[in-house]
Structure 1
Amino acid sequence: MQEDNYILIKMHRINSTIDRKTAHIAAQYGLTLGQFGVLEALYHAGDLTVGEVKEKILSTDGTIPVVVRNLVKCDLIRQRKDENDGRRHILSLTDKGREVIAKAYPENAVMIEQEMQVWNEEEKQTLVRLFKKFAR
């Protein structure tokens, strides 16, 4: 029981540390953590519906509309109705948005790589195996 709590607390702290450092990098580009997440999802996956973005960045229903609205206002993304289903909206990066995330993402990737250097490759593989077992 005590070990379980320790594991959960440490996992949460690791996640909080990465989020805090990502938020710092995002802020250097005038972005919030949520905005960075949306831009990153679109950068890697291409055009996505609002729901698909929400799933990729593990966001709640309440925050996505505000984040999307602000990104549209800043001309970082474009939002259009899905031709096949007018209830859905498709998001895509603008040239300006692609330029911003193309600069910010590599900085974040370097930071994550540096943070993960506390583990060697064997330890990382063990973590992956254990997390897969947990997520079954």
Structure 2
Amino acid sequence: MEKDSIAQSLKLFIVLSRAYKAINEHVNKAIQQNGLNPTEFAVLELLYHKGDQPLQQIGGKILLASGSITYVVDKLEQKGLLRRVACPNDRRVTYAQITEEGQALIEEIFPEHAERIDELMSSLTDTEKADAIRLLKKLGLPAGKF
């Protein structure tokens, strides 16, 4: 019986990985058509939806290594899409803040991004989406403890 369980676990891993890869490639291609890479888009989206963020916390919120954040923030700053703002209460903290130009760009491209993702997920009913969310959370929580 254990061999069947292992085989099913391996099959689930492969199917999940392939589904993620296919969806992610499609979404990333569309993001790149707007002159951003996926990480730049993720940072802008975070700032747009959540407001100013300490640079030290951005990586954890978008699943990016902290060393890469400086590079991404530099690129977005060069493009005029965000600015660094010193924290008035703690000199050790610097915030990333979306600029008006960055906000305008996200407001222009995010609705299409959301529609594209909805279209990619449209093979599932709303109930199936809710079930998938619940099951993937159940699957991911123990994995985060390793």
Do they fold alike, i.e. is TM over 0.5? yes
User: Which letter maps to 1:113?
Assistant: D
Unaligned runs of 5+ in 1: none
Is 1:90 matched up with 2:101?
no
Q: 1:20 matched to which residue of 2?
A: 25
Moved over 3 A (4+): none
Is 1:112 matched up with 2:117?
yes
C-alpha distance in 2 between matches for 1:81 and 1:133: 39
Q: How many residues align?
A: 136
Is 1:39 matched up with 2:44?
yes
Higher RCO by CA contacts (8 Å cutoff, separation 6 or greater): 1
So what's the TM-score if we normalise by structure 2? Answer: 0.85
Q: 1:2 matched to which residue of 2?
A: 7
| Pairwise CA distance, 1:28 | 1.8
CA RMSD of aligned residues (A): 1.5
Give the 3-state SS of the residue equivalent to 1:85 in structure 2. Answer: coil
| Pairwise CA distance, 1:102 | 1.0
User: Which letter maps to 1:75?
Assistant: G
* Contact in 2 for aligned 1:19/1:33 (Cα 8 Å): no
Unaligned runs of 5+ in 2: 1-5
> For structure 1, which segment, 36-45 or 80-89, has the greater mean C-alpha deviation from structure 2 after superposition?
80-89
Larger Rg: 2
| Pairwise CA distance, 1:14 | 2.3
Is 1:54 matched up with 2:84?
no
So what's the TM-score if we normalise by structure 1? Answer: 0.91
Share of identical aligned residues, percent?
Answer: 31
